[in-house]
Amino acid sequence: MIKTVDPTQVSQPELHSILLTAVAPRPICFASTIDKDGNVNLSPFSFFNVFSSNPPIMIFSPSRSGRDNSLKHTHENVLEVPEVVINIVNHNMAEQMSLSSTAYAKGVNEFQKAGFTQVPSEKVRPPRVAESPVSFECTVQEVIELAQTPGAGNLIIAKVELIHVDDAYFTDGILDTEKLDLVGRMGGNWYIRAIKDSLFEIPKPLRTHGIGVDALPKGIRESEVLTGNNLGRLGNVESLPSTLEIDIASVTEHAKHLSKKEIHVLAKRILEEGDTDKAMALLLFGEHK
């Protein structure tokens, strides 16, 4: 049974909960800003992502308070000084980051409250967070206020002017996802950690054209064993294996005396171990038994 929700017929807190729990995990913009009097503010926002690499553009959204409709200090600051440093959050700093989200009075420096180290930026006035693995110095290109109601977002479009990356997070000159140990925002009080056990790779069909799931034999498409993910991986191959490749796979995996279902179970295991070609060959062998 599907529960259908009309956004206009539920309360703002209930709608907020559905949206933020369903649309997750979300990266975290840890934004440092400064007002016209030089007061520094540091606050996290999970309505955030990168939207362009040329020009390099990031957008985040400090929403109006759902309780009293007030604006975030970050929003007010970028209207006064249109600059921001977007600091990336990893697991080592997650608790301090959360503490900085406290609604302190205007003028209170969250760097100090959360125990972070301010580092002067080179191209913008707000400081960056020394503990962050990556920091982006940005100029604010535009602020789009979506509405004047509680919970309404305010899109801050920021152009990256300079990037600072801690050398410790590189491997062979490439920024390393495993080393970064990033965290993402989920619903409620929940976060997620991007550690090795939660990471997986999917070959991207950027320069090739996969045959598609619809090109697989019916017996494979309608398998009781293979999942949608399995079929998606099989549909990403560029061509079906040759008769020789099918014969070799059947012999090396001792498949001649297996039932079709047993072949599918074996092929599924091989597929999930990363050998798509052999798995496909076995499945096609099973189709011709």
- Tell which residue, 236, 231, 270, has the closest CA to residue 250: 270
Q: Alpha helices of the chain — where are they, by DSSP H?
A: 12-22, 73-80, 94-100, 110-114, 177-180, 218-221, 228-234, 243-252, 260-272, 276-287
Distance CA 112, CA 135 (A): 18
Which amino acid appears at position 178 of this protein? Answer: E
Residues 135-162 pLDDT 10s: 999 999 999 999 999 889 999 999 999 9
Mean pLDDT of the chain: 93
Q: What is the DSSP letter of 214?
A: G
Domains of the chain, CATH where assigned:
7-198 (2.30.110.10), 213-287 (no CATH)
Cβ neighbours of residue 134 under 8 Å, at least 6 residues apart?
Answer: 87, 88, 163, 164, 165, 166, 169, 175, 180
Distance CA 254, CA 183 (A): 44
- Here the tokens at position 218 are 């019916």
> Are 136 and 106 a contacting pair, CB within 8 Å?
no
- Here the tokens at position 238 are 């560029």
Residues 62-102 pLDDT 10s: 999 888 888 999 999 999 999 999 999 999 999 999 999 98
